[in-house]
Structure 1
Amino acid sequence: MSIFNIAAISVILSGLWWCIYHLLASLNHRKNGRKLQLPPGPRGLPIIGNLHMLGNLPHRTLEKLANKYGPIMYLQLGYVPTIVVSSPQAAKLFLKTHDNVFASRPRVQAAEYLAYGSSGIGFTEYGPYWRNVRKLVSIELLSNRTIESFAEVRRQEVGLLVNSIKEVAVSNQVVDLTEIVAALIENISYIMVFGRCKDDRFDLKDIVRKAFVLIGVFNLADYLPFLKPFDLQGLTRQLKATSKALDEVMEVIITEHEEEQHAQSGNDHQIQQHHHKDFIHLMLSLIMKKSFSTTHEELSHTLNRTNMKAIITDTVAAMIDTSHSAIDWTLTELIRHPRVMKKLQQELNDFVGIHRMVEERDLPKLNYLSMVIKESLRLHPVAPIFLPHESLEDVVVNGYYIPKKVRIFINYWAIGRDPKVWSDNVEEFIPERFVDKNIDLHGQDFELIPFGAGRRSCPGANLGLMHIQLVVAQLVHCFDWKLPEGMSIDETDMTEAFGLTAPRAKHLLAVPSNRLRSNMY
């Protein structure tokens, strides 16, 4: 039988399945003789449902649809029934009021390959295993103590970056801020996770970047499973190749850590200093049951070689892509708004002075910096649409029936532009809108939840904010920035690319000039 015939039969069978599914769904949406109401939404086409309506930037398209159908909207994305949430009040219902119902994740193809069967943390289904992994990441890997132990790494890496910019600033050279900030965050993250930021035997950064791209690609097979065998987008082939390359690198690094761990096993003092070790060393210590932290003993039984690699992959992805994108957008807005830039530099002059660089202990004092970061995360969320949630049972939310196994998308990009919350100037970059507003960034105030909320909120929020604040403050304090000659502020390309994160589509180029009088670095 030819491929064409197989495809034709698949489409016909899929069409029949689609009709049967919706007929059964219609019958099932009744309880005690009363029809249960799904949220409103646009009518879909057979088989593909509303997939054709998403466009290249789904967060923007879904916001426009929500303006018509409401903040709790129903879509049929291929075979996947989907709810899109687009307001702070609606997000609170799903992420707090009914958080226990929507705490799970759907299975997606990218996670099967790159997260070792969804055995990490980001894509893992809700349950005892996920709770143990979440506890591991929060208590061991991303605790305040562990973050603090890498303060010297951050200081050194940021110092190297500042020195490299100082050299080119003398001759008014153009700097690719997008590229150098990405390299900085990658270096810090790789040292924290792997204990190294480069290896001559393999291109670690290139492999991880390929994995990031593949995780963020919209995969038709996740919504139309009958297409999976045909691999029309070539994603299965790429996922397999990247997964194999990533696993080979992981095996080399983990094996070397194991050998080092065994070599040190006779030295109790070295083992007790595990809080100075990278993440792989920390997890190996747990596996060997030689962790001296307050972590519950069951964490050591949760870990094995496979899920350790999955946790590493998820952690690296979360650490790099989010911080880099947020810093890039914040610097873009500061360069486009000289008034805000000068006001932030004045605050830095007042609290830090012009004879030294910013230190991490300075950050809590910098109130205007905090407002600048909040405004940037409102306008340019690192994740415009959060990783999808999945309902664990049938539930009624705000009068609407939400069936079990429905996929939930929180459109945070739309929440940050809700005029009912932020007034009619939602598209403008105005940090002062946060004056006298004690808005929390850790999931308590649903008008601003850049790191999510509830059980599935980002466990690395503190580290992410540390990176964003430190790098932005340092680059703004050490240098004045202007656009390359011949480019006006109005010509700055503000287009975003879509994926798990929404980075700038084009790199940010700028010309630095030195501000500080210190030769400290």
Structure 2
Amino acid sequence: MEAEKVLLALAVCSLLVILSKKLKQGLTKPELKLPPGPWTLPLLGSVHHLVSSQGGMYRAMSVLSEKHGPLMQLWLGEVPTVVASSPEAAREILKTSDLTFATRHLNATTRTATFDASDLVFAPYGDRWRQLRKICVLELLSVARVQALRRVREEEAALLVARIAASASSGEPVCLTRSIANFINDTIVRESIGARCKYQDEYLRAFDTLVRQTSSLTAADLFPSSRIMQALGAAPRNARVCRDEMERIIEQIIKERLEEKAAEKDDDGSEKAHGSGDFLDVMLRLQKQNGSITNRDILILLFDMFGAGSETSSTTLNWTMAELMRTPRVMAKAQAELRDAFQGKTSITEEDVAKLSYLKLVLKEALRLHCPLPLLLPRECRESCTVMGYDVPKGTAVLVNAWAICRDPKVWDRPEEFRPERFEADGAVDFKGTNYEFLPFGSGRRMCPGANLGIANMEVALASLLYHFDWKLPDGARAEDMDMSEAAGMVASKRAKLYLCPTVRVAPGPGPCSA
């Protein structure tokens, strides 16, 4: 009990020191024209406006922006934060001033989880980030490389269909959330290292725990200048444990691949071509050609591949199926397109999927209504600048509320409805980062470089699920009663798992060879 009192007293003293610093800064700094925002509390700033609302922070920020405007100033503890909630505000940040906002804002937990911000996703803007992005864009995630891995996606989609078909005869509901997550994880792993990973369960457990540690604001995030708050914060310590476990597993994967390649050398000592074309092989080849790529770089890029592509893609597919169950008209139209196009086929290839049009609109609409990263990823102002006539000081955290933009009634007609035809009416609207009303993958220098891979993984799976099966809710449940709320966290996943009863409509062909 005494120890708790001492810790509380130390925390209060620390916060008083921070308040004193802020008061001194206010007396010496020139007055700035900051964006408007809600009233604040001492020390906590605007946090109470966010935690007191139902749903994720992006929902609360959307409500606040209706009152305070499309560019809004918040204080998350001592951290100044600007939130953009309109296409015009997003354009100024992500295009007009893209270089000024090209670096990431980091808290203690995220920095720890991302190898001290040395990975591609969270690295500060600079030479290292440019080198990693160049490797990804030109070698790992190019259109040609993504197409070269189509066989992996087709095989995994066929395995997904086979497993669901095997359980359909029982009449029991299938946890589609779990089936989709397994498909995406297996696909990403095979695309990354060419085969199943025997450590996959261990890795996913550590990854799930790591995501939870980075999914909410902590005292350490709100008061980064307080050494006491940093010392007391449990999230960074827990994140370090998870990261170390994931690092150990990836190091073992790389070690085993190097041993495998050494054992496969020809009699003359030359290295045999591995032939899989997976990301790990590509990086090892680049390392041999270019000594500047280290084993550490390879480890960190694999870490990004395993994590960045799995959670967002499985979340989007899960929401897509949920929305289709709530909108039978759209489900019927999508299935009719598939079954008319592929009459007599027992499996689907990516060449088949490329011929479809309505399925692609369905996926676009799911990305609009359920942006997997509703606040994108936080940026930071590198140099003081002006946005929409307001001052944004250096060091300010910047959030783009893509969730609010994609549901803005000034931009979208009947925005809460799941209506893929809206993209048919305006086919020019795409997710390539140039339409600021639709930014599921972001825009500018820090746009997600894996958009092509993510879309390819999702399209073949969605087409297979709709082509082979009819779906209904279990136990006579009504679609309008489905729980469509989001779980808390950086990724807006569906809070309740999706259970559906499949009926085989088009029997799948012979199962694919095991990978």
Q: TM-score, normalised by structure 2?
A: 0.92
Q: Which position in structure 2 is the counterpart of 1:435? A: 424
Q: CA separation of 1:519/1:145 partners in 2, compared to 1, >3 Å: closer, same or farther?
A: same
Residues 485, 496 of structure 2: 8 Å contact kept: yes
**What is the identity, as a one-letter code, of the residue corresponding to 2:423?**
F
C-alpha offsets along residues 86-144 of structure 1, whole Å, 9 cap, x if unaligned? 11111011000100000101232233333211111111110111011111111121122
Residues 1:37 and 2:33 are matched in the alignment:
yes
8 Å CA contact 1:15, 1:46 repeated in 2:
no
**1:316 is the counterpart of 2:312:** no
Q: Which residue of 2 aligns with 1:116?
A: 115
Take 1:218 and 1:190, find their aligned partners in 2: how far apart are those partners? Answer: 30
CA-CA distance at 1:398 after TM superposition: 1.0
Choose which of 392, 404, 409 in structure 2 pairs with 1:402: 392
Structure-1 separation of matches of 2:486 and 2:421: 24
Distance 2:240 2:492 in 1: 25
Contact (CA 8 Å) 2:261, 2:274: kept in 1 or not? no
Tell me: CA distance 1:220–1:20, structure 2 relative to 1, closer, same or farther (3 Å). Answer: closer
Q: For residues 461-500 of structure 1, what are the structure 2 equivalents within 5 Å?
A: 461-500=451-490
Structure 2 residue ranges without an equivalent (≥5):
none
Question: Using the alignment, how far apart are the partners of 1:346 and 1:269 within structure 2?
Answer: 56
| 1:86/1:411 contact within 8 Å kept | yes
CA contact (8 A) 1:149 1:276 kept: no
Identity of aligned residues (%): 35
After the TM superposition, which of the residue ranges 108-117 and 272-281 deviates more from structure 2? 272-281
Residue aligned with 1:203, SS: helix
1:344 partner amino acid: A
How far, CA to CA, are the matches of 2:21 and 2:204 in structure 1?
47
Match status 1:357 vs 2:347: yes
Cα distance, 1:431 vs structure 2: 1.1
The unaligned stretches of length 5 or more in structure 1 are 290-296
Letter in 2 for 1:164: R
Contact 2:188 2:305 in 1 (8 A): no
> How far 1:265 sits from its partner (Å)?
5.3
**Secondary structure in 2 aligned to 1:513?**
strand
Q: 2:318 is paired with a residue of what secondary structure? A: helix
**Alignment CA distance shift 1:267-1:166 (3 Å):** farther
**Paired amino acid for 1:325:** T
Tell me, in whole angstroms, the C-alpha distance in 1 between the residues paired with 2:278 and 2:230: 40
Q: Deviations over 1:355-401 (max 9, x none)?
A: 33332112232221121111111111111111100011010111000
Using a 3 Å threshold, how does the CA distance of structure 1 residues 412 and 354 change in structure 2: closer, same or farther? farther
1:335 corresponds to 2:334 = no
**Aligned with 1:401: secondary structure?**
strand
Question: Measured at CA, do residues 175 and 63 of structure 1 come closer, stay the same or move farther in structure 2, by a change above 3 Å?
Answer: same
Q: Which residue of 2 aligns with 1:501?
A: 491
Counterpart of 1:4 in structure 2 is 5
Judged with a 3 Å threshold, the aligned counterparts in structure 2 of structure 1 residues 114 and 310 are, in CA distance, closer, same or farther, namely farther
Match of 1:190 in 2: 189
1:509/1:284 CA distance change after superposition, 3 Å: same
Do 2:120 and 2:301's aligned partners in 1 also have CA atoms closer than 8 Å?
yes
Query: What's the CA shift for 1:505?
Result: 0.5
Contact 1:355 1:517 in 2 (8 A): no
| Equivalent position amino acid for 2:419 in 1 | I
Match of 1:14 in 2: 15
Is the deviation greater in 314-323 or in 347-356? Answer: 347-356
SS in 1 for 2:253: helix
Letter in 2 for 1:238: N
Matches within 5 A, 1:213-362: 213-225=212-224, 226=226, 227-232=228-233, 234-264=234-264, 273=273, 276-289=276-289, 300-301=291-292, 303-362=293-352
Post-superposition shift, 1:454? 0.3
C-alpha deviation, 1:242, in angstroms: 1.1
Instruction: Show the 5 A alignment for 1:195-206.
Output: 195-199=194-198, 203-206=202-205
Does the 8 A contact of 2:214 with 2:235 survive in 1? no
CA distance in 2, matches of 1:270, 1:427: 60
Tell me which amino acid in the other structure corresponds to 2:509. Answer: N
Matches of 1:345 and 1:164, distance apart in 2:
20
CA deviation string 1:203-262 (max 9, x = no partner): 233223223333334333122232544535x32332232122112212211111222233
Label 1:486 to 1:441 Cα distance change in 2 as closer, same or farther (>3 A): same
State how many pairs are aligned.
504
What SS class does the counterpart of residue 458 from structure 1 fall into? coil
Match of 1:179 in 2: 178
Q: Which residue of 1 aligns with 2:45?
A: 49
- Report the aligned-residue RMSD: 2.3
The TM-score normalised by the length of structure 1 is 0.91
Say if 1:116 and 1:306, in contact at 8 Å, map to a contact too: no
Task: Give me the whole-angstrom Cα distance separating, in 1, the residues matched to 2:204 and 2:387.
Answer: 43
> Is the CA contact (8 Å cut-off) linking 1:354 and 1:518 kept in structure 2?
no
Is this contact kept in 2: 1:48–1:224, CA < 8 A? Answer: no
SS in 2 for 1:120: coil
> CA–CA distance in 2 between the matches of 1:268 and 1:137?
33
Whole-angstrom CA distance in 2 between matches of 1:26 and 1:151 = 61
Equivalent position of 1:413 in the other structure: 403
Displacement of 1:61 in angstroms is: 0.5
For residues 400-459 of structure 1, the C-alpha deviation after alignment (integer angstroms, 9 at most, x for no partner) is 000111000111110111110013x21111111122312111101111110000000000
Alignment of 1:453-464 (within 5 A): 453-464=443-454
Deviation at 1:13? Answer: 3.8
Label 1:248 to 1:12 Cα distance change in 2 as closer, same or farther (>3 A): same
Say whether the 8 Å CA contact 1:354–1:517 is kept in structure 2: no
Secondary structure of the 1:504 match is coil
Shift of 1:201: 9.4
Distance 1:19 1:41, change over 3 A: farther
Whether 2:163 is the aligned partner of 1:164: answer yes
